[in-house]
Amino acid sequence: MKIPTRATIAAALLASISAIVLAENPAGPNSYRGDPERGAKIAAWGTSNGVASCSSCHGYDGVGNGTSVVPRLAGQTADYLTQQLDKFAAHRRHNVYMTNFAQRLSPQERADVSAYYAALRSSFPPPNDQFAPELFERGRQLATVGDDKLTVPSCNNCHGPQGIGESPDIPALKGQYSNYIVYRLQQLAAGHNTADLMFPISASLTPEDMNAVAVYFASLGISSPKPSNVQQIANSPSH
Amino acid sequence: MATVMKEVDIVFVGFGFGSSMVAKELVGTGLKMVGLERGFPRYTSPDFQSPEIHDELRFAVRKAMMQDNVREAITLRHSPDQSALPVRRWGAFLPGTGLGGSGVHWNGQTFRFQEWDFVWKSRMQDRYGKKFLDSLDLTIQDWGVTYQELEPFFDRFEYLAGTSGKAGNINGKIEPGGNPFEAARSREYPTPPLKEQYNGALFRKAATDLGYHPYPQPASNLSVAYTNPDGLKLNACVYCGFCERFACEHYAKASPQTIALPILLRSPNFELRTQCQVTQVNRDSSGKKATGVTYYDAAGREVFQPASLVVLSMFPFNNVRMLLLSKIGDPYDPQTGKGAVGKNYTYQTVSDVWSYFDQDVNINPFMGSGAIGTMIDDFGGDNFDHGPYSFIGGSYLLAAYTGGRPIETHPVPPGTPKWGKGWKDAVIKHYNHTGHILVHGSSMPTRRNYLDLDPTYRDAWGLPLLRMTFDFPENDLRMNRFCSDRGLEIARAMPGSKGVLATPRQRPFDVTQYQSTHNSGGAIMGTDPSTSVVNKYLQSWDVPNLFVLGASAFPHNGTYNYTGTLMALNLHTADVIRNRYLKSPGPLV
């Protein structure tokens, strides 16, 4: 085994300190301007710092997959995606893989890969329509008006009309995989963080209600002929 | 011919915060209760949801949640020698309507009056002498109840509401971070304070440097998710900036909808009737016993609801109007000083201070909440020696933006043109770079400020409108100017401040400019039936089975927003009804 020299030790210390500094970015989306061309390369190939290609799970088109743990990224805003990477890196969101990758990406790289995925206008796969119409209706009710008995406000209050999201904190739900939405709601309900706005809301939902909102939002992707932008939302018929 | 309903134990007139909380406290007694509300039913879901609720034009400018003054206005004059005219558009104050009343559109600012507020006349006389007090020509009185008696009920309301704050005085021990001047409380607030705005942080720095004691404003818009002692859940505020004049979509504001109605609507002994306009409290031939109330239902039919106990909770000046229309008690006569119904009408004395910053200081006023803010109480009430001055009472100074809504938020410095391109350029330049301090102070009663029935104007049911005779007493204008000057000093000391403007309160009272909805008095509490309308339990001296809730009971209005204090009085009343009155109905004092 090679005995580390002082220079090697110093370099290692510097690297680990840098990693810690790079990992912590508590103030919201970092202020680096993302370059989608550089981001495309990271998405396709990963980085030499041990970051796997995002596309291997999330797809080069950002469509993700229906395994329930790999979300669609395409169409989320760059600020939202960057903030999520910052949160993963700082352990404010919990996923072993994402924390590892996010910590190994520099803040610039996080901004770049986020800018790449945010710019994509990928199509939506058809939703899994093996559900009862009543479930969809219940989801629509929770999404648009909430439920007084559960003290659950409507999802759209924060997630926007048709779930288009509100950057940088609030994701678009429109066209997200239904089983991913359920997975996240379960995670948030189990988080027990009273300062997290989603905790009391998710904790008030039954498993059936979680399925209901998930099924509703998943179906909104394909209901627009083209992927969304704000203008189209404004012009489309009310939900 | 009126339809006669089946008799109930209690009928509540007006179903806002007062009625709903008192009724809720009486669930479980087996009493049959009916709540009558003139407005429409409404619930957080579906009625308060976005995006519809974030409609500034509808709710803030056009006052959609307020009393319909096409059908039921009030008239106003500044002094008894004038003729009153109807207020056709609400401005200075915004009385609510609809299920939940003003408890839906309030800001959530939750204070306790001071110990000495309840013994105000004695305190003022002891400290400053009878001669000084007489020279001010104010009709202040002691309340007939003490802070100590009410402390458990302040505590109960704050814990039911989940109020967010930092205690300054727990059982006599001064706590860092809170208000060192506050009346002693038995324990900490149920949830921690809301986040601090940048405007508040700048104020905190300036106030601290000047030797004052800044602390976070107590808020019933909650800082964290909370389950109250009744098992009801509230969410954490999202700082949406659409609090006052709006309803909370998020279950984050304590209101009848979040902390009373869920319990009431589950109870088989409670019935809610909306769109019912009560026109009279009926009495038997002796005149000393209420037999129930008369109302017009949604179809315009006249109905008589018999009840063993009548509770008025219609908002202060509507309570007074109902007593006058029902001919209960002696109306106050400003010439003779006799009679108590309508006497000691008070308001709130408020003004603003502005601080202008450069473009690099971003205030972000839109990140607001109803009761967010950093404040000082160093000049509140009697917290300082008034010996050198010619007034009593005081103001708190509060740095807060409840929101930065686009239609109504356009602070501009003095000298800005009042319209046109020059004004628009100034609004763009200053919108996000202007600090604000609210000067919020007490209101003292006088012989000439009072409420009665208008001799000319009537409501849609043909009944005389309430007439308000009011202008600011000189005492209050001197107090406000003094406090405004203190606010100016702080504004100048805010880091980065490049200019300041204060707009102290002036006479005559301008009902077109929003100031405060803390109208109070007119059915005041006291120990002497000749100078008060209700006793310490808010029970009518004239009609023992009639209770009159809320701030109409205040012989003066203190420095602070009054919801916390009126709720303590109301919960004290609920407690006495439940534990004493029901066992032996009759005069409690």
Domains in chain A: boundaries: 25-119, 133-235
For residue A197, the chain B residues in CB contact (below 8 A) are: 235-236, 238
Q: Pick from B233, B236, B250: which is nearest to A157 by CB?
A: B250
Look-up: residue for tokens 């501009």? B412
Task: Provide the token pair at B439.
Answer: 């000067």
Nearest in space to B401 (alpha carbons), one of B178, B200, B255, B561: B200
Q: Pick from A148, A157, A199: which is nearest to B50 by CB?
A: A157
**CA–CA gap between residue B105 and residue B370 (Å, rounded):** 10
**CA–CA gap between residue B144 and residue B325 (Å, rounded):** 26
Is A234 an 8 Å CB contact of chain B?
A: no
Is A147 an 8 Å CB contact of chain B?
A: yes
Is A201 an 8 Å CB contact of chain B?
A: yes
Contact at CB, A157 and B249, closer than 8 angstroms: yes
Residue A192 has what pLDDT? Answer: 75
Query: What does the longest C-alpha to C-alpha distance in chain A come to?
Result: 69
Domains A25-119 and A133-235 belong to one CATH topology: yes
Q: CATH fold of A25-119, please?
A: Cytochrome Bc1 Complex; Chain D, domain 2 (1.10.760)
Is A195 an 8 Å CB contact of chain B?
A: yes
**CA–CA gap between residue B305 and residue B328 (Å, rounded):** 18
At B158, which amino acid appears?
A: E
Nearest in space to B570 (alpha carbons), one of B13, B17, B187, B1: B17
Contact at CB, B44 and A145, closer than 8 angstroms: no
- C-alpha distances out from residue B488 to A193, B289, B374, B439, Å: 41, 54, 16, 10
Contact at CB, A194 and B234, closer than 8 angstroms: no
Per the prediction, chain A carries an average pLDDT of: 84
Is residue B327 within 8 Å of B458, Cβ to Cβ? no
Residue A239 has what pLDDT? Answer: 38
What's the start-to-end Cα distance of chain A, in Å? 66
How long a stretch of residues is chain A?
239
Q: Pick from A156, A195, A199: which is nearest to B50 by CB?
A: A156
Locate the chain A residue with the closest alpha carbon to B232: A151
For chain B, list residues whose CB is within 8 angstroms of any CB belonging to chain A: 43-46, 49-51, 224-226, 232-236, 238, 249-251, 258
Q: Name B14's bridge partners.
A: none
**If you average pLDDT over residues A28-36, what whole number do you get?**
82
Is A90 an 8 Å CB contact of chain B?
A: no
What is the nearest CA distance from A147 to chain B, expressed in angstroms? Answer: 6
What is the nearest CA distance from A13 to chain B, expressed in angstroms? Answer: 37
Q: Name B169's bridge partners.
A: B174
Q: How many CB atoms lie within 10 A of CB B574?
A: 25
Q: Pick from B43, B225, B235: which is nearest to A148 by CB?
A: B43
Whether A77 has a pLDDT exceeding 50, the answer reads yes
Position A191 confidence tier, pLDDT thresholds 50, 70, 90: confident
What is the nearest CA distance from A76 to chain B, expressed in angstroms? Answer: 21
What is the nearest CA distance from B225 to chain A, expressed in angstroms? Answer: 5
Domain architecture of chain B: domains with CATH: 3-581 (3.50.50.60)
Return the active site residues of B: 518
Residue A231 has what pLDDT? Answer: 42
Is A42 an 8 Å CB contact of chain B?
A: no
Locate the chain B residue with the closest alpha carbon to A238: B51
- DSSP letter at B245 equals T
Q: Pick from A153, A156, A194: which is nearest to B225 by CB?
A: A194
Q: How many CB atoms lie within 10 A of CB B71?
A: 11
Residue B162 has what pLDDT? Answer: 98
The per-residue pLDDT for range B505-528, each reduced to its tens digit, is 999 999 999 999 999 999 999 999
Residues of chain B with pLDDT under 70: none
Conformational region of residue B289, where left means phi above 0, alpha means psi within -120 to 50, and beta covers everything else: beta
**If you average pLDDT over residues A88-114, what whole number do you get?**
95
Q: Which residue, among B45, B54, B246, B265, would best test binding to A if mutated, counting the most A CBs under 10 Å from its CB?
A: B45
Nearest in space to B312 (alpha carbons), one of B527, B584, B101: B101
The per-residue pLDDT for range B527-577, each reduced to its tens digit, is 999 999 999 999 999 999 999 999 999 999 999 999 999 999 999 999 999
**CA–CA gap between residue A33 and residue A26 (Å, rounded):** 17
Locate the chain A residue with the closest alpha carbon to B50: A157
Q: Which residue, among A152, A157, A162, would best test binding to B if mutated, counting the most B CBs under 10 Å from its CB?
A: A157
Q: Which residue, among B235, B255, B257, B259, would best test binding to A if mutated, counting the most A CBs under 10 Å from its CB?
A: B235
Q: Pick from A146, A195, A204: which is nearest to B224 by CB?
A: A195
Position A222 confidence tier, pLDDT thresholds 50, 70, 90: confident
**CA–CA gap between residue A56 and residue A44 (Å, rounded):** 8
Instruction: Name the more confident of A192 and B354.
Output: B354
Contact at CB, A199 and B44, closer than 8 angstroms: no
Instruction: Name the more confident of A235 and B394.
Output: B394
What pairing do the DSSP bridges indicate for beta strands B302-312 and B3-4? parallel
Is A161 an 8 Å CB contact of chain B?
A: yes
Sign of CA dihedral B11, B15, B16, B17: positive
Instruction: Say what the pTM is.
Output: 0.92
Residue B89 has what pLDDT? Answer: 95
**CA–CA gap between residue B183 and residue B191 (Å, rounded):** 19
Residue B16 has what pLDDT? Answer: 98
Across B470-580, where does the E strand assignment appear?
Answer: 499-503, 546-548
Q: What are phi and psi of A38, to 5 degrees?
A: -65, -40
Is residue B14 within 8 Å of B313, Cβ to Cβ? yes
Residue A236 has what pLDDT? Answer: 44
Q: Pick from B46, B232, B251: which is nearest to A145 by CB?
A: B46
At B64, which amino acid appears?
A: A
Contact at CB, B233 and A194, closer than 8 angstroms: no
Q: What are phi and psi of B226, to 5 degrees?
A: -150, 145
Q: Name B306's bridge partners.
A: B292
Q: Give buried/exposed letters for B519-550 (b at 16+ CB in 10 A, else e).
A: bbbbbbbbeebebbbbbbbbbbbbbbbbbbbb
DSSP B8-59: EEEEEES-SHHHHHHHHHTTTS---EEEEESS----HHHHT-TTTT--HIII
Conformational region of residue B108, where left means phi above 0, alpha means psi within -120 to 50, and beta covers everything else: left
What is the nearest CA distance from B232 to chain A, expressed in angstroms? Answer: 9
Nearest in space to B53 (alpha carbons), one of A141, A239, A158: A158
What pairing do the DSSP bridges indicate for beta strands B546-548 and B302-312? parallel
**CA–CA gap between residue B442 and residue B395 (Å, rounded):** 6
Task: Report A:105-134 residues touching B (Cβ under 8 A).
Answer: none
Nearest in space to B95 (alpha carbons), one of B575, B542, B518: B518
CA dihedral A56→A58→A60→A65, nearest 10 degrees, is 100
Residue A129 has what pLDDT? Answer: 66
Identify the three-state secondary structure at position A184: helix
Superfamily of domain A133-235: Cytochrome c-like domain (1.10.760.10)
What is the nearest CA distance from B285 to chain A, expressed in angstroms? Answer: 46
Residue B540 has what pLDDT? Answer: 98
Peptide bond preceding A225 in cis form (omega within 30 of 0): no
